[in-house]
Structures are given as C-alpha cells and as structure tokens.
Amino acid sequence: SYVLTQPPSVSVAPGETARLTCGGDNVGSRSVHWFQQKSGQAPILVISYDSDRPSGIPERFSGSNSGNTATLTIRRVEVGDEADYYCQVWDGSSDHVVFGGGTKLTVL
Amino acid sequence: QVELQESGPRQVRTSQTLSLTCTVSGGSISGTTHYWSWIRQPAGKGLEWIGRVYYSGATDYNHSLKSRVTISVDTSANQFSLKLRSVTAADTAVYYCARLDYYGAGTSWGQGTLVTVSS
C-alpha cells in the first residue's frame, strides 16, 4: 500500500519559517491534505488539495506538491503553531485514506 | 456548521466488539459530496484511517482491519456507526469520526473518544 514519510520532528524559532515535508512515490500526482493536531485536540485541516487554505486558516500557512515531496510551509512561526502535523492522500489503487506518520513541530 | 459527536462504551473487554456511533448535527448525512469516516489514534502515535461509509451504504475499509470492521449508516437518525470485532489491547485508542470528501479532505471532526480495551 501507499506510504507517506514525514520527519518525526522539526524545530524552529519564533518568527522563522518552518518547512514540513511529506515524501511519497510520485506524490506530486496526488492531492495532499495537511492536518494540524494540538495536544489533546482533534485534527484541523490547514491545507487541502496541495495548496488551498480552508476558511479561518492564516495566510502564513501554505502548501506545495511536486515530484516525490509535498511541503507545508509556515511563515512567521508562532508559539501557538506548535503541534503535530500530518499529511494525507487518497490512494485509489487500494481505496484507502493514507496518513503520514506525523511531524512534531517545536517552536523554540 | 456541521458538528459530529462520538458516543459509545469507553471500556471494552478483550475479544468483544467495540461499538461507536457518530451523530451528525447541523447538516444531512445524506449529502452526496461527503464520506463519513472513522479514524483512530493510539496514545502517543499517529492517525490511522479505519474506513468510511457513503450515505448509500457503500463502504471502504483499511485492509489491515477489514476482517474485523463494519461501518454502517442510518440516514433516518443522521448517524453512522463503527463495529470492531475481536478487540485486543492494541485497539485501545482515541476514536474520531469525521466528514471527509472523496479524496480525504475535511474540516468537520468529532472531538474524539478514548476507548480502552482490557481484560
């Protein structure tokens, strides 16, 4: 089945830019969604279809997807952005929703 | 604003069946653009998709759980349900219900419910 690979952790200082990656075989041919999950809370969709921001998500959040890597970029990182971030795709060959293992973003 | 709420027993005995219901409010479960999913998350681990049901009753399941899972929909009650048979401690997790589109995007999730499996 299809596999999405995310680095376990990323650290960034407040005000800097965080780039969270999601690797998969030709993932650029799929639509990637990104979810933010803060401690003890349900996940929240922050980017859909590679680069669309749902209503209420700050413009600091953006996404891109090409080749074997999708990227969630968070500009001007704030302490409140500290969370686990999961990428997700639909795998039509197996009729599965697939999640990456998640990246813990730490804001130093 | 669609809201989802999980309900069901919080404790299940080993080898028994875990049963949860998700009640949808603020919108109809019979909408044609959404799929109603169950996702779980063991403590300290990542998200695992369990499966989904369409309003028609059509289902897709995670292959690793398919032999033990049934997801069904009750359009008259605006609810959908999860049954996971022959549970073990490895099935202990927070279980979320969610409204997702065909490709998995969705902004409506339940708050999650912790289900503990023990003997």
Region of B8 (left: φ > 0; alpha: ψ -120 to 50; beta: rest) is: left
Q: Which of B5, B6, B41, B113 to mutate against chain A (most A CBs within 10 Å)?
A: B41
Two tokens, residue A53: 């921001």
Among the partner-chain residues B48, B96, B105, the one whose CB lies closest to the CB of A42 is B96
* Contact between A103 and A9 (Cβ < 8 Å): yes
Mean pLDDT of B42-53: 97
The chain-wide mean pLDDT, for chain B, equals 96
Using CA atoms in the order A17, A18, A23, A26, what is the torsion angle rounded to 10 degrees? -30
Mean pLDDT, residues A9-37 taken together: 97
Q: Are A81 and A70 in contact (CB under 8 A)?
A: no
Q: How many A×B Cβ pairs under 8 Å?
A: 56
Note the pLDDT of residue B26: 93
Confidence band of B32 (pLDDT split at 50, 70, 90): confident
Nearest to residue B73, comparing CAs of B24, B108, B16?
B24
Q: Which chain A positions have a beta carbon within 8 Å of B105's beta carbon?
A: 31, 33, 45, 48-49
In chain A, which residues touch B (CB < 8 A)? Answer: 1, 31, 33, 35, 37, 42-45, 48-49, 54, 84, 86, 88-90, 94-102
Comparing CB atoms, the residue among A1, A33, A35 nearest residue B63 is A1
* pLDDT at residue A97 greater than cutoff 90: yes
What DSSP character marks residue A30?
S
pLDDT of amino acid B46: 97
Cβ atoms within 10 Å, residue A94 = 13
3-state DSSP call for residue A81? helix
CA dihedral A94, B27, A43, A75 (to 10 degrees): 100
Name chain A contacts of B49, Cβ cutoff 8 Å: 96-99
Q: Out of B49, B62, B105, whose CB is closest to A48?
A: B105
Instruction: Report d(CA A45, CA B35) in Å as an integer.
Output: 16
Cβ-Cβ contacts under 8 Å for A40 (sequence gap 6 or more)? none
Question: Does residue B99 contact residue B73 with C-beta atoms inside 8 Å?
Answer: no
* pLDDT tens profile B48-100: 999 999 999 999 999 999 999 999 999 999 999 999 999 999 999 999 999 99
**Residue B1 binned pLDDT confidence (cut-offs 50, 70, 90):** confident
CA distance B63 to chain A (A): 8
